[in-house]
Structure 1
Amino acid sequence: MAAVKIYDDLEHNISDEDMQTVFMEWRTNPGLLHNESMKMYTALLEDDNVEQAQEVFKLSVERGILPTVVLYTCVTETYFSFGKNKDALEAYQGMLAAGVALNCYTYTVLIKGLIDDPNFIGDAKKCLLDIMDRDMRPNAATYTVVFVGFVKKEDKAAEEEGKELVKVMIRKGNGPKAREMMRVLQDNPTTLIRRVLDIVFSKVKA
């Protein structure tokens, strides 16, 4: 009943016409959200977030309840697909206000969406720090895109901010891993890869 109420509240409180259309699609085809639950479950397992994956599976498959974290994550991801980063960020803040237990998959969606707009790189960085403050480990793909975002800003201040972020990650026991980052970066231009690694590993070596 609580999950149904949250769903109804979200649907009725969101005035965005694009989102209203999406909610109608979800209402008429519940399988769409079930598929999103399975996507989240699979991604969490692949990153060895077993407990988080089991929680999603337990609710969505064993009990037939749509986890609120899945719903909010879908709302956030949909806003990003419409290029509405500010609304996506507000949906994230709504999750926090509602006491939704966020997982690593949700944060990955959020960070990758925010980083596409240089104006939101500071918010992406805050979300990355929030993961670690909640004793969760961001995967290499998630933290690497943040450093790519700093490089793409094309200014010295952004690069220095990236270097400071590395120091914080190391202090929190989540230092960047070179081999995993290289796998994430392999399809990018060589110059971008070199600049990202220069930011990250100048501090690691120090």
Structure 2
Amino acid sequence: MKVLKKATEYCEDKDLKEMFDMNIGDYDSLNKYAIKVFDAMANDTLAVEAKELFKPRSESAVLPDVAIYTVVIWACICFSNIKAAHNVYQCMIDNGVAPNSCTYIILINTLANNSSSDVNFVWYAKKYFLEMLAKGMTPPSSSYMAVFKAIARQEPVVKAKEARSFLSRYKQRGSALS
């Protein structure tokens, strides 16, 4: 529960904090919510990533810290609070918890597909996509396309060069578009 408290402490949104308290305020509730998140991921083409994310740390079936943070990020996104989701991600990094491919995919797709006028979301989506590649993880083509389209949406003429640059860096890493 210490990790859950850390993951939710930077949430400033009153309604979101209430939702956390009601839905994942104790370990049993967290487990139930984690099962819902696992099911949603598995039914949304992230089955392999979900299995990796929710693999227990030991025989005691305790959720890994990365899974707890990712569940909280997911909850923020479901509550349409992308900024809070990104803050939870930053908290995760600050507390020394390394994201896995599932965390990256959820965050990248959310940041890139966000219709907000916050151009930093696109910058972060691109940054996390490239981090994922640098760590040897293979992002799905949906993440690549989300980032590519987000860059192109910003300022089509000016950002076209940046989108081409992004494409060439993606191909240089040895990844094939599928």
**What range describes the TM-score normalised by the shorter chain of this pair?**
0.7 to 0.9
Partner of 1:167: 168
1:57 to 55, 58, 68: 55
Contact 2:7 2:91 in 1 (8 A): no
Contact 2:56 2:64 in 1 (8 A): no
State the AA in 1 paired with 2:137. Answer: M
Over residues 125-171 of structure 1, what are the superposed CA-to-partner deviations in whole Å (9 max), with x where a residue is unaligned?
00100101111110111111111212322421212111000111122
Identity of aligned residues (%): 24
Partner of 1:104: 101
Contact 1:37 1:66 in 2 (8 A): no
Over residues 164-201 of structure 1, what are the superposed CA-to-partner deviations in whole Å (9 max), with x where a residue is unaligned?
001111222124x2xx3xxxxxxxxxxxxxxxxxxxxx
Contact 1:121 1:146 in 2 (8 A): yes
Q: How far, CA to CA, are the matches of 1:72 and 1:19 in structure 2?
A: 15
Partner of 2:134: 133
Q: How far, CA to CA, are the matches of 1:106 and 1:169 in structure 2?
A: 19
State the AA in 1 paired with 2:63. Answer: L
Partner of 1:36: 37
Q: Indicate the SS of the match to 1:167.
A: helix
Contact 1:112 1:142 in 2 (8 A): yes
Provide the aligned C-alpha RMSD in A.
Answer: 2.6
Q: How far, CA to CA, are the matches of 1:66 and 1:41 in structure 2?
A: 17
Q: Greater relative contact order (Cα 8 A, min sep 6): structure 1 or 2?
A: 2
**Residues 1:155 and 1:12: Cα distance change in structure 2 (over 3 Å):** closer
Partner of 1:152: 153
**Residues 1:39 and 1:66: Cα distance change in structure 2 (over 3 Å):** farther
The number of residue pairs the alignment matches comes to 168
**Residues 1:65 and 1:82: Cα distance change in structure 2 (over 3 Å):** same
Q: How far, CA to CA, are the matches of 2:5 and 2:81 in structure 1?
A: 22
Q: How far, CA to CA, are the matches of 1:167 and 1:145 in structure 2?
A: 16
Partner of 2:92: 95
The structure with more helix, counted as a fraction of residues: 1
Q: How far, CA to CA, are the matches of 2:175 and 2:147 in structure 1?
A: 14
Q: How does 1:183-194 map to 2 (within 5 A)?
A: none
Give TM-score, length-normalised by structure 2.
0.79
State the AA in 2 paired with 1:124. Answer: A
Q: CA deviation at 1:39?
A: 4.8
State the AA in 2 paired with 1:58. Answer: P
Gap regions ≥5 residues in structure 2? none
**Residues 1:11 and 1:121: Cα distance change in structure 2 (over 3 Å):** closer
Q: CA deviation at 1:99?
A: 1.8
Gap regions ≥5 residues in structure 1? 181-206
Partner of 1:14: 11
Contact 1:37 1:70 in 2 (8 A): no
Q: How far, CA to CA, are the matches of 1:70 and 1:58 in structure 2?
A: 9
Q: Which has the larger radius of gyration?
A: 1
Q: How far, CA to CA, are the matches of 2:79 and 2:36 in structure 1?
A: 20
Q: Indicate the SS of the match to 2:137.
A: coil
